[in-house]
Amino acid sequence: MKIYTPNIGKIKKTIKETEDTKTFQIELENKILREHFYFDPGEFVLITVFGVGEAPFSISSSPFNKNYFEITARKTGNVTNALFNLKEGDKIGVRGPHGKGYPMDEFEHTNIILISGGCGLAPLKSLIEYVIQKRGCYNKLTLLYGDKTPQNIIYEKEISKWKKIKNFDVHLTVDKGDKKWKGNVGVVTKLINKVKNFENSVVCLCGPPVMMKYSIPELKKKGIEDEDIFVSLERKMQCGLGICCHCNINDVYVCKDGPVFRYLDIKDLSELGW
Amino acid sequence: MYYVLKKKDLPKFVKLLNKNFEVIAPVKKNGSLIFDKVSSADEIVKNYINTDYPPKNFFLPDGETIFEYKKSNNIKIKHPGKPKKKVIYGIRPCDVNALLKLDKILGGEFYYRIKRENTKIIAINCTKAGENCFCTSLGDDQLKEGFDLLLTDVGKEFYIKIGSEWGKKLMKHKIFKRTENSFKKTFFECKRFFLAKDLDKKIERNFNTKIWEKHFKKCFSCTACSVVCPMCYCFDLVQVPKSENEGKVKKFWSSCLSKEFSRVAGDFIFRDKRVNRVRQFLSHKFLYGKKHYDEFLCVGCGRCISHCPVGIDYEKFLEEIK
Ligand SMILES: Cc1cc2nc3c(=O)[nH]c(=O)nc-3n(C[C@H](O)[C@H](O)[C@H](O)COP(=O)(O)OP(=O)(O)OC[C@H]3O[C@@H](n4cnc5c(N)ncnc54)[C@H](O)[C@@H]3O)c2cc1C
Ligand code: SF4
Ligand code: SF4
Ligand code: FES
């Protein structure tokens, strides 16, 4: 199979989230592929900006959405800068969905606690929308989201909608507030104390390694087991299919075995780095 | 049952092959023994233990085009045409075994498979081991499959074993004589030797020890060992624009021994320490390879040892590790 050749997608819409972050609504040109674009929240796509390069992005939209999917990209280098400059109607390359996402079936009838920092909210947004659409199957949903400043907060429109949903608690925090900010200030780990009930709960973490490093001991204190903690990992990627070897951490391949891992399965990997 | 080819008939054999194939064989170029295209038998180097470089580039060319793109209102993608039919003459069993192992990993890749399908393999058994060879420890000196023809040099003649229908048809030519005779096998064993059993477990046991520092602190990440390794296949996909609206995506060899290999945005490097990269190189070959493909991703050709500018000797390490 021509596994490194992307399919063509069209940017249907761009949404400016912050100064350096945009959400892209992407529609695959091929109707059959579009209709068979199945994924679990947490999976990723490889996006090609022709003439520049390819990079992995988590899918941030709901899997129930069949006409298009979304990614949210933060400017950090060549590909992300070029992507940022693309306009509605421009064509890009799409490979995937790839990887393993969150085990949504296993989460049924549990409380789900989401902890995210920065762009780590992207895959969790997919999970949130999934849960909202299948509300009856899941118990309480709690989102703890931290970012650098109020200006860095993404998905503002969605967040204000989420806040109104029953049985869905949303807590935000910023490292550094400003005059207008009336919410929490401090690292996201501090928000863990806002959660009242840790029974029958799973926790999904997505964000920088330090966030995971400091959150997990807190969660363990609350009685959460390693097998009920899910982390999303990041490594350099090229093929996205477990072949090129750029993304391995000891014997696991982030692209194929992850990016979402059960903490129990990866906590002892010596190359984890945190 | 074997077929016999008189060595003086080798030019006729090469001519016969050249009718329908590009013939690739060991030749001397710029001081190195490599595989390259030949048009007649006199270009072929006949007396060699193994080539300095494996024929890896005929299956995984460094910088091969994966596709071309053209932007207008739409994006048009074009794939390269079918590769020319080739025959590799004179490849050693270790290098054929390397291809068989690569098949398990890359068999799903169109780009690799189409080259494999279009390349015939005429292997020649070794009669002598080189000073850095250790294929016998890994069992990669023997070929049970993976060849169209397998030649054994018995002096003035080659004894030929058939490995495919194509090979069988070729033997109908009058330069080959069928024989029920057998020949005296020259038994050889590489001087270097270790027990391959449980190498994976040994590496796993030593993963977090100082042994890597002890053996590999001299490594300066030149990546030569992975360039010459017949089994190193890791790669980057790179955009090579020709103009604003067209260009190619190419696949380049990439080595886990280089710092760049694990670099992500923000200049974060996951394997920053050199010895940790050597550990990745060897763990991939002997631990992850075993786990994921049930193979050691090394065939004992010894080229990594011959090419290391600072004298790092992976085989000595494999002998010592417990
Ligand atoms: C599974 C996964 C999901 C991701 N999801 C998102 C997301 O939803 N939103 C977002 O903004 N970012 C996400 N990232 C990070 C994003 O891929 C990088 O920001 C991006 O690759 C940077 O590329 P660049 O060309 O702009 O940077 P450069 O520094 O110019 O990078 C050059 C090349 O290095 C590689 N590379 C660099 N950084 C990374 C990285 N972190 N991960 C993998 N390869 C990298 C890419 O191949 C890239 O083309 C994700 C990464 C992974 C692995
Ligand atoms: S690791 Fe060294 S000995 Fe083993 S196949 Fe590669 S080059 Fe040959
Ligand atoms: S050839 Fe030697 S110095 Fe170069 S990367 Fe390999 S082990 Fe290190
Ligand atoms: S990205 Fe190639 S192996 Fe994971």
Positive or negative torsion for Cα B261, B266, B271, B275: positive
ipTM for the assembly: 0.92
- Beta-strand relationship, A168-174 and A229-232: unpaired
- Which atom of ligand 3 lies at the shortest distance from residue B255's CA? 5
On chain A, the residues whose CB falls within 8 A of the CB of B207 are 250, 270
Report chain A's mean pLDDT, rounded to a whole number.
96
pLDDT tens-digit series, residues A213-240: 999 999 999 999 999 999 999 999 999 9
Q: How many domains does chain B have?
A: 1
Q: Within the 54-83 window of chain A, which residues sit less than 8 Å (CB to CB) from chain B?
A: 54, 76-77, 80
Rounded to the nearest angstrom, the minimum Cα separation between A239 and chain B is 8
Residue among B216, B217, B220 to mutate when testing ligand 3 (max atoms within 8 A of CB): B220
CA A257 distance to own-chain centroid: 16
Distances in Å between the alpha carbon of A57 and those of A88, A90, B66?
18, 18, 22
B235 contacts in chain A (CB < 8 Å):
238-239, 244
Please check whether residue B13 is in contact with residue B175, taking contact to mean a CB–CB distance below 8 angstroms.
Answer: yes
Going by alpha carbons, the residue nearest to atom 2 of ligand 2 is: B304
> Nearest 5°: phi and psi at B36?
-155, 170
Query: How far is the alpha carbon of A166 from chain B, nearest alpha carbon, in Å?
Result: 38
State the amino acid at position A214 in one-letter form. Y
User: Taking CA atoms, what residue in B is nearest to A76?
Assistant: B265
**Is the pTM higher than 0.90?**
yes
DSSP states along A208-242: -HHHHHHHHHHHHHTT--GGGEEEE-----SSSSS
Q: Among the bound ligands, name the one nearest to the CA of residue B133.
A: 2
Determine the pLDDT at residue A274. Answer: 85
Longest dimension (CA), chain B: 69
Nearest CA in chain B to A268: B208
Going residue by residue through chain B, which has 322 residues, state the pLDDT in tens, using 9 for 90 and above.
899 999 999 999 999 999 999 999 999 999 999 999 999 999 999 999 999 999 999 999 999 999 999 998 899 999 999 999 999 999 999 999 999 999 999 999 999 999 999 999 999 999 999 999 999 999 999 999 999 999 999 999 999 999 999 999 999 999 999 999 888 777 788 999 999 999 999 999 999 999 999 999 999 999 999 999 999 999 999 999 999 999 999 999 999 999 999 999 888 999 999 999 999 999 999 999 999 999 999 999 999 999 999 999 999 999 999 9
Kindly determine whether residue A2 and residue B234, on different chains, have CB atoms separated by under 8 Å: no
Q: How far is CA A28 from CA A2, A11, A14, A31, A38, in A?
A: 18, 9, 15, 7, 13
Q: By C-alpha distance, which of A255, A251, A199, A202 is closest to A232?
A: A255
- Quick one: fold of A7-98? Elongation Factor Tu (Ef-tu); domain 3 (2.40.30)
Q: DSSP for B197-231?
A: TTHHHHHHHHTTSTHHHHHHTT-----HHHHH-TT
Q: Where in chain A is the domain with CATH 2.40.30.10?
A: 7-98
Cβ of B197: how many Cβ atoms within 10 Å? 8
- Which residues of chain A are in CATH 3.40.50.80 domains? 111-266
* Min Cα–Cα distance to chain B from A227, Å: 23
pLDDT of residue A106: 97
Q: Which of B112, B239, B288 to mutate to test the interface with A (most CBs of A within 10 A)?
A: B239
A239 close to ligand 4 (CB < 6 Angstrom): yes
Q: Sign (positive/negative) of CA torsion B215, B220, B223, B224?
A: negative
Fold adopted by A111-266:
Rossmann fold (3.40.50)
**Which residues does chain A have with pLDDT short of 70?**
none
Domain that holds residue B212: 2-320
